[in-house]
Amino acid sequence: MNILPELKARFRAALTDLVSDHQQADVDAVVNMVRSAQDARFGDYQANCAMPLGKQLGRPPREIAAEIVERLDVADMCDPPEVAGPGFINLRLKSEWLVSQVNAAWGDPRLGVPQASPARRIVVDFSSPNVAKPMHVGHIRSTVIGDAICRTLAFLGHQVISDNHLGDWGTQFGMIIYGYKHFVDRAAYDASPVAELGRLYKLVNQLVEYHAGTARLPELQQQLAEQIAAAEAAEADAEKLAASGKPADKSAKKARRRLEDKVAGTRAEIAGLQARIEAVDSDPTLAQLAADHPRIGTAVLDETAQLHAGDATNRQLWEEFLPACRQAMEEIYQRIDVTFDYELGESYFQDRLAAVVADFESKGLARESAGATCVFLDDFDTPMIIRKKDGAFLYATTDLATIQYRVEEWQSDEILYVVDHRQGEHFQKLFAAARLWGFDKTHLQHVAFGTVLGKDGKPFKTRSGETVGLVGLLDDAVARARDIVAANDDAKKNGPELSESERDRVADVIGHAAIKYADLSHNRSSDYEFDQEKMLAMQGNTATYMQYSFARVNGIFSKGNVDIEALRAGSASMQLDDPHERALALELLKFSDALVESVDDYRPNVLTNYLFELTKSFSSFFEHCPVLKAEEEAVRTSRLLLCDLTARTIRQGLNLLGIDVVQRM
Ligand code: ARG
């Protein structure tokens, strides 16, 4: 049962008669003011809607509150509502109702979570790395957030289609093809194609950036000189103004700040370029390669263009490289327990692109501009290019073809793109173009996320400035988890419980979980700092703590020799006499609301927050209410059932985040 939506529906009904027709539009906002109470002394739920309504209707809020209460039909669920203070309406769930609900949840394999109705068909486009580049820390977010969204939606009863839109057709293939043709180390390639292709990608990329950087440097230096001059001129103006005794101009001050920021930005960009150039210049082998391949940038684009044009050699190399690259990614997905229904990469859509452009043209939705085919969109300064001057199609063209496919083949009601926020403009344009094209019945949403930062607050890089590889990070987390598990086990009162191989298995589960949970527990819109120590902490909002709470319940059962299966099969039921029992039961019943809310705007951190509240609630229950040592048998049994429902809810919640539990740790 979803308590909050139910209460809101009851309020809606009560309000409908109260406000006149022209105010109906505001009813939503008012109904949304029904919330969980912050302080249990004031009840379980609270509604502050009488205050704004009072203003609207020009009447005292307390009077309005009293009138709402009179019309509110919640007698089956709640004790009589109370009006407090300036007009708060406090609701307390009836004890018998709470008891019957929590018993029903306990007896339900779905833990009381109703199936969504109507079920929607939702495509989730996530992970979607560019193959041929090793996966790095940035890929973790899309993969983990997308997977959690899929699992939660599916549990709620929606039809989910997960699709890994692999970048398997872009410039990175031009890079490894060029690298293979000129620099391959055969023995290394034969021994491990993926490692060698990774090296080639890095090498070619480095050489391309070297030449691009050397070419761009003078231009940037010129730009810097101009920016400095402008900043100095503005500064001089400001000094003159100050000397003349006139008041400082605020907007001029702002403009000066902007100029200074520009100077700093350009300086940083130059420093970055210089460091990359220096890295090549200072290495004789690299410097020689750079000198021998002066036009590598265009050569790489040519290789890509030839692949796209169907050149036999490049096509054959692509077919040879792709399975190896996919295999390497597959190993990571297996490790972190992520699967896809489809992995239709960009290459899958290539033979549809010409038709997409032709369709836009024939419908008069695209026209030529400076040789390129463009879709002009309202509300955007620049058009969306769907075919370049040289005939090449773009990322956007592929995405349009993909939307057509997903709507026509899969009849999707909704398509979610779990992609870095920096692609925001691409998706806004893409969605606008798709609507223009006629796909206006499918809800398209960019589920954007921020950047993973290092301790210095900058994008997470290795000391030498490279992006951090995913495999290394996972290994590291597991190794740290292994130490924690060992220390924890060694410190147990009656001596260690886990064998070496159990310790390994537990560390594997806990290490991977820590990384996933840390990512999911941050609001996806913000950047977050990757901190291995924090994410493995035994206390606080971490996977480790949730897993520990689960294992703790399990420990109660094994310590008391409780046959939980027999208990589940029996006819026992819960009673909620102690306030801590009641508080825990109420928290357990909020699971359903948390799931619904977490997919409302696709924010898994709503679910992690819920789990954190639940484990806290369990902890204070456990502190105040003896379970195995409960005096009466009925109380003992009732508490065991509460423990059981707690453990199952934690396990289910973590499972929806793609996280496993262990029985002991
Ligand atoms: N491969 C792209 C990248 O790594 C992400 C693709 C996201 N999905 C999409 N349909 N555009 O940036």
- pLDDT (tens digit per residue) in 485-496: 999 999 999 899
List the domain range (segments joined by +) for residue 197. Answer: 172-310
If asked whether residues 83 and 176 sit together in one domain, one would say no
The answer, yes or no, to whether residue 25 has pLDDT greater than 70, is no
* 290 domain-assigned: yes
Q: What pLDDT does residue 170 have?
A: 87
Cα–Cα distance, 198 to 329 (Å, whole number):
12
If asked whether residues 77 and 194 sit together in one domain, one would say no
Which residue do the tokens 């050569």 mark? 299
129 pocket-lining for ligand 1 (C-beta < 6 Å): yes
Q: What pLDDT does residue 464 have?
A: 64
The answer, yes or no, to whether residue 653 has pLDDT greater than 80, is yes
* 51 domain-assigned: yes
Cα–Cα distance, 152 to 592 (Å, whole number):
11
Tens of pLDDT, residue by residue over 128-176, are: 998 877 788 888 999 999 999 999 999 999 999 999 999 999 888 999 9
The alpha carbon torsion through 206, 210, 212, 213 (nearest 10 deg) reads 120
The answer, yes or no, to whether residue 79 has pLDDT greater than 80, is yes
522 pocket-lining for ligand 1 (C-beta < 6 Å): no
Q: Which atom of ligand 1 is nearest to the CA of 139?
A: 4
If asked whether residues 305 and 177 sit together in one domain, one would say yes
* 156 domain-assigned: no
398: helix, strand or coil: helix
CA of 145 to the centre of ligand 1 (A): 15
If asked whether residues 188 and 298 sit together in one domain, one would say yes
Which of 93, 112, 145 marks a domain boundary? 93
- Is the Cβ–Cβ distance between 47 and 34 less than 8 Å? yes
Cα–Cα distance, 656 to 605 (Å, whole number):
12
419 pocket-lining for ligand 1 (C-beta < 6 Å): yes
Tens of pLDDT, residue by residue over 383-435, are: 999 999 988 899 999 999 999 999 999 999 999 999 999 999 999 999 999 99
- Is the Cβ–Cβ distance between 484 and 662 less than 8 Å? no
* Residue nearest ligand 1's atom 4 by CA: 129
Amino acid letter for position 417: Y
* 68 domain-assigned: yes
Q: What pLDDT does residue 112 have?
A: 94
* Residue nearest ligand 1's atom 6 by CA: 128
Q: What pLDDT does residue 20 have?
A: 65
652 pocket-lining for ligand 1 (C-beta < 6 Å): no
241: helix, strand or coil: helix
Higher pLDDT, 466 or 285: 285
Mean pLDDT score, 522-529:
93
347 pocket-lining for ligand 1 (C-beta < 6 Å): no
Q: Which atom of ligand 1 is nearest to the CA of 426?
A: 11
Q: How confident is the model at residue 22 (pLDDT cuts 50, 70, 90)?
A: low
- Is the Cβ–Cβ distance between 550 and 615 less than 8 Å? no
If asked whether residues 187 and 85 sit together in one domain, one would say no
Cα–Cα distance, 16 to 38 (Å, whole number):
27
- CATH number, position 60: 3.30.1360.70
125 pocket-lining for ligand 1 (C-beta < 6 Å): yes
Tens of pLDDT, residue by residue over 208-223, are: 999 999 999 999 999 9
State which of 128, 429, 467 you would mutate to test the pocket of ligand 1, scoring each by most atoms of that ligand within 8 A of its C-beta. Answer: 128
Which residue do the tokens 């391949």 mark? 293
CA of 380 to the centre of ligand 1 (A): 21
CA of 163 to the centre of ligand 1 (A): 11
Amino acid letter for position 367: R
Tens of pLDDT, residue by residue over 323-350, are: 999 998 999 999 999 999 999 999 999 9
399 pocket-lining for ligand 1 (C-beta < 6 Å): yes
CA of 499 to the centre of ligand 1 (A): 43
CA of 525 to the centre of ligand 1 (A): 17
Which DSSP letter does residue 157 get? T
State which of 161, 419, 467 you would mutate to test the pocket of ligand 1, scoring each by most atoms of that ligand within 8 A of its C-beta. Answer: 419
CA of 165 to the centre of ligand 1 (A): 6
The answer, yes or no, to whether residue 238 has pLDDT greater than 90, is no
The answer, yes or no, to whether residue 538 has pLDDT greater than 90, is no
CA of 31 to the centre of ligand 1 (A): 38
State how beta strands 45-47 and 34-36 pair.
antiparallel
* 195 domain-assigned: yes
> In the chain, pLDDT over 90 holds for what percent of residues?
77
- Is the Cβ–Cβ distance between 108 and 148 less than 8 Å? no
Q: How confident is the model at residue 54 (pLDDT cuts 50, 70, 90)?
A: confident
Which DSSP letter does residue 41 get? G
If asked whether residues 201 and 306 sit together in one domain, one would say yes
CA of 186 to the centre of ligand 1 (A): 32
* Residue nearest ligand 1's atom 5 by CA: 128
The answer, yes or no, to whether residue 515 has pLDDT greater than 70, is yes
Cα–Cα distance, 248 to 251 (Å, whole number):
9
The answer, yes or no, to whether residue 473 has pLDDT greater than 70, is yes
- ω before 118 within 30° of 0 (cis)? yes
Average pLDDT, the chain: 93
Q: What pLDDT does residue 353 have?
A: 96
Which of 310, 329, 355 marks a domain boundary? 310
128 pocket-lining for ligand 1 (C-beta < 6 Å): yes
146 pocket-lining for ligand 1 (C-beta < 6 Å): no
Cα–Cα distance, 323 to 86 (Å, whole number):
68
612 pocket-lining for ligand 1 (C-beta < 6 Å): no
Q: How confident is the model at residue 49 (pLDDT cuts 50, 70, 90)?
A: confident
Instruction: Specify the DSSP element, H or E, that contains 372.
Output: strand 372-375
Question: Could you give the number of structural domains in the chain?
Answer: 2
346 pocket-lining for ligand 1 (C-beta < 6 Å): no
Which of 61, 93, 125 marks a domain boundary? 93
If asked whether residues 176 and 89 sit together in one domain, one would say no
